[in-house]
Amino acid sequence: MVTAIRTPEPRRDDRPAPEAMVEPLTPERLLKLQTWLSPGFPIGAFSYSHGLEWAIETGTVTDPEALGGWIGELLRRGSARNDAILFAETWRAAAGRNADALREVGELAESLATSRERHLETMAQGTAFLKAVTAAWSTPTIETFAGAHSNRAAYPVAVALATASHAIPLAHSLPAYLHAFVANLVSVAVRLVPLGQTNGLRVVSALTPLVLETARAAEKLTLDDLGSATVRSELFSIQHETQYSRIFRT
């Protein structure tokens, strides 16, 4: 908790904050990352399926192979790739104390959630995440952001802000974020298809190289590179709104 008690010196806005200097992943930082991306962190991740519940309901995802294909496409050219770009942009903006860039990426991340449930999923989790880190792991960067953004944030933006502010390298925090997204969707399918725990773990394991590749690529991308091909996944998140009997909020 070294960073939380440091008194910030007055500094120019474009200079990296001391707590955001790129440093190695120390055990202390690893533990923060683990805590924040744990399924037990109080943001209700378990209640969001990202439209996967409708894909299962309609028979589009029925087995481990289809599940891996579905999530893999979100990583390769869908919402998860977009989130990775938003994460990397936020991380750099927070590390550079660039309030204008943070405002731009924050606004864009919210507006890119174009269905009611995608919007709920990213804003409810992001806002809960911001509240939790403000309460227990606060830094000047997090405080300033929360004040300027009405204590609201899209989920990738909130996690990137916290990791940058606690000097957890992008090269570790971004793949961890994507891995948590994958693990959450797999757990949806384990419960709904149902798939069985072992099959679920195999899907998580098989997608790991793609998680790493997506994160590595996104580190070099900017907001100009945003773009998703997974129109049907967007459509499914809309159609989930009218699913008759459902367990998940999205």
Partner 1 sequence: MRTALEIVDNVPEGVGMQRTSGESRIRFHVRDGAARLDRLYQQGAAKIRLPRPEPGRPPEAVLINTAGGLTGGDTMAFEVEVADGAHAVVTTQACEKIYKSSSGPAQVASRLSVGAHARLDWLPQETILFNRARLSRRLEADLADGATLLALEAVVFGRIAMGEVVASGSFHERWRIRRNGRLVFADDTRIDGSVADIASHPAVLAGGRAVATVVYVAENAEDYLERAREAVGESGGVTAFDGKLVARIISMDTLSLRRALVPLLAVLADGAPLPKVWHI
Which one of 48, 70, 91, 248 is in contact with partner 1 (CB under 8 A)?
70
Measured CA to CA, the distance from residue 216 to residue 221 in angstroms comes to 9
Q: Which of 116, 136, 143, 213 binds partner 1 (CB under 8 A)?
A: 116
**Does residue 229 bind partner 1 (CB under 8 A)?**
yes
- Dihedral sign, Cα of residue 61, residue 65, residue 68, residue 74: negative
When asked if residue 231 is in the footprint of partner 1 (CB under 8 A), the reply is yes
Task: Tell me which of 16, 234, 243, 249 binds partner 1, using CB under 8 A.
Answer: 234
- Residue 9: Cβ within 10 Å count: 6
CB of 8 to partner 1, least distance (A): 30
Identify whether the C-beta of residue 146 lies closer than 8 Å to the C-beta of residue 152. Answer: no
Dist CA 155 CA 226 (whole Å): 16
- Residue 230 as a binder of partner 1 (CB under 8 A): the answer is yes
- Point out which span in 18-26, 158-166, 169-177, 226-234 binds partner 1 (CB under 8 A): 226-234
What does the block give as tokens for 7? 């008194």
Cβ 117 to partner 1, closest distance in Å? 8
- Give the span between the Cα atoms of 72 and 211, in whole angstroms: 9
Closest CA to 206 of 38, 56, 60, 71: 71
- Interface residue with partner 1, options 150, 198, 242, 245 (CB under 8 A): 242
Q: Kindly indicate which of the ranges 9-17, 63-71, 160-168, 210-218 contains the residues binding partner 1, using the contact rule CB under 8 A.
A: 63-71
Using CB under 8 A as the binding rule, the residues of this chain from 81 to 100 that contact partner 1 are 82
Among residues 112, 93, 96, which one has the least CA distance to residue 225? 112
Taking CB under 8 A as the rule, does residue 57 contact partner 1?
A: no
